[in-house]
Amino acid sequence: MANHNSKLQLGTLENWLWEAACVIRGAVDAPKFKDYILPLVFLKRLSDVFEDELQQLGSTAKYVDDDYRLVRFYIPSRARWPNMFRQTTDLGEYLTDGVRAVARHNPKLAGVVDIKDFNERAGGQPILSDAQLRALIQRLSQYRLGLKDVEPDILGRAYEYLLRKFAEGQGQSAGEFYTPREVAILMAYILDPDPGDEIYDPACGSGGLLVKSFLGFREKYGEDTHLAPLRFYGQEINAATFAMARMNTFIYDMEAEIVIGDTMNRPAFTKTDGSLRRFDRVTANPMWNQNFAVTTYEHDTYGRFGHGIPPASSADWGWVQHMFASLNDRGKMAMVIDTGAAARGSGNQGSNRERDVRKAFVEHDFVEAVLLLPENLFYNTSAPGIIMVLNRAKQHPNEILLINASGEFLKGRPKNYLGEENIKRIADIYLGWQEVEGFSKVIKTDEAVRNDYNLSPSRYVASNHQEEVLPLDEAVVLLSEAEEERQAVDKELNEILGKLGLDIKTNEQPE
């Protein structure tokens, strides 16, 4: 059974999940490993937390079967992990009945914990035999997953690893769904919510940013029950990660509403009059440089894109505008975004849609800070990324803080990461609005104007005297946008020539 003395660290977690996947290798296609493993990891997490709560209740625990309100989630006897561990026959049916029983006793978990049929068959035979399911349960029994045994976002971590390890070949990428924990912690410090705030993530993935905001708030204020709690809202387009986000917020008893859907085309959080609901804090790490048709912005009915239409080649400033439109009058947002979004188009002759949107935000004095992250933090790219902070109620009007944290990392394998000291240094400089030679600089907005609205921190804060090199993916976005602009100009020119009666192809008067 479980090892009670070893806390599950990242490397141990990955080895553990790999061994679990090997148990069902061959019977299940690799991209589907997570469909069997994750619900069981979640069920074990629920069971271990339930067991912890029974111990805390002491003698009162005997009343739990009569009063489910004594625990955050009631786990019926057949679904408790020790009982599943002892089961040896008809395991597929037993597991499926168990997760469905959990969902019946906990309506909030319906459609989350019971999403997999472990008795699923193909050609009349079970996909996983009793022996394979038993081996999987035995492997997953190796570690406890109680509240004190693992880090908060254990489910997000597990999902990220399985997706990265087995699903990237299917055209998916872990970076679409999971933000590295240390980046999420830094984002929580930057958001710095007040008691009673409402926090929204329009691309919430597995819910890591929301969970870290909750834990950061609890770290700052303790568990003072007199404080108004934070309330959380998230939307996610991917069904599997939507379920993961709900699992994560359920485990921590967060006041959270997580919905599934396409935020850019059908935002879920709206008022009765059809306008967007507005929040105190907004945070997200949406997929970088997504392709949305320009009509997505042109036909918008929510008033989100008044600062300009982004190019079809990159939705970065589309996401910025959706998030900004979701802020109330004193709201602040922090988002992870492609580095190129801070500078693309600046210094070029002619128009550039991203540069023009950036110009509007600078001139309205909504940009508070831009933080350049180190390279090779994210799982789906080696590009560094930035954290863009916008604020409707800036404490330092007409100023922008640029932080070049490209050197603030520890070397890891296969990815770099931010250590606790790195996180603290970056957060302290932002929260203290500090200038540090070679690390951060406060500029006036008119300096950004003079630099043609280039907000790249490396433009203002040199780091090791390295020259900026345009990454290939940013060059592709720029090329796509240039082609988009060329086609638009050609269309406009052809319309003018047509009205003049000129031959569009030869520009000559027809005979």
Q: Where are the domains of the chain?
A: 10-150, 174-460, 473-511
Show the beta-strand stretches assigned E in 77-129.
121-122, 125-126
Token pair listed for 150: 């693992």
Residue 472: the pLDDT is: 54
Strand-strand pairing, 279-284 and 399-404: unpaired
Half-sphere exposure of 273 (CA within 13 A, CB side): 5
Residue 475: the pLDDT is: 58
Cβ neighbours of residue 162 under 8 Å, at least 6 residues apart? 17, 21, 33, 34, 37, 38
Residues 159, 153: Cα–Cα separation, whole Å: 10
pTM for this structure? 0.81
Closest CA to 290 of 366, 392, 211, 202: 202
What is the third-level CATH fold of 174-460? Answer: Rossmann fold (3.40.50)
The answer to whether the beta carbons of residues 76 and 84 sit under 8 Å apart is no
Token pair listed for 306: 């008044």
- CATH number attached to the domain at 10-150: 1.20.1260.30
How far is C-alpha 479 from the chain's CA centre?
A: 28
Residues 180, 173: Cα–Cα separation, whole Å: 13
Show the beta-strand stretches assigned E in 245-326.
255-260, 279-284
3-state secondary structure of 251: helix
Residues of the chain with confidence (pLDDT) below 50: 5, 168-175, 465-467, 511
Compute how many other C-beta atoms are within 10 angstroms of the C-beta atom of residue 435. 14
Residue 159: the pLDDT is: 75
Angle between helices 10-23 and 33-57 (to 10 degrees): 120
The answer to whether the beta carbons of residues 386 and 341 sit under 8 Å apart is yes
Closest CA to 167 of 333, 259, 37: 37
Residues 275, 256: Cα–Cα separation, whole Å: 21
Residue 427: the pLDDT is: 98
Task: Identify the H or E element spanning 51.
Answer: helix 33-57
Give the angle 242-244-249 at the CA atoms, nearest 5°: 100
Residues 59, 158: Cα–Cα separation, whole Å: 35
Provide the sign of the torsion angle of the four alpha carbons 439, 443, 445, 450, taken in this order. Answer: negative
Residues 199, 209: Cα–Cα separation, whole Å: 10
Residue 467: the pLDDT is: 45
Residues 477, 312: Cα–Cα separation, whole Å: 10
Residues 245, 151: Cα–Cα separation, whole Å: 15
Residue 504: the pLDDT is: 54
Half-sphere exposure of 193 (CA within 13 A, CB side): 32
Provide the sign of the torsion angle of the four alpha carbons 315, 321, 323, 326, taken in this order. Answer: negative
Residue 333 bridge partners (DSSP)? 282, 390
Buried b (16+ CB within 10 A) or exposed e, 290-311: bebeeebbeebeeebbebbbbb
Strand-strand pairing, 399-404 and 255-260: unpaired
Whole-number CA gyration radius for the chain: 25
The answer to whether the beta carbons of residues 200 and 269 sit under 8 Å apart is yes
Closest CA to 127 of 31, 227, 25, 268: 25
Residue 407: the pLDDT is: 94
Residue 337: the pLDDT is: 94
Residues 306, 395: Cα–Cα separation, whole Å: 24
Query: How do residues 342-362 score in pLDDT, each as one tens digit?
Result: 999 998 767 799 999 999 999
Residue 298: the pLDDT is: 94
81-to-3, 38, 45, 113, 162 alpha-carbon distances in Å? 14, 15, 9, 14, 22
3-state secondary structure of 280: strand
Residues 491, 239: Cα–Cα separation, whole Å: 40
Query: How do residues 443-454 score in pLDDT, each as one tens digit?
Result: 999 999 999 999
Residue showing tokens 């912005």: 297
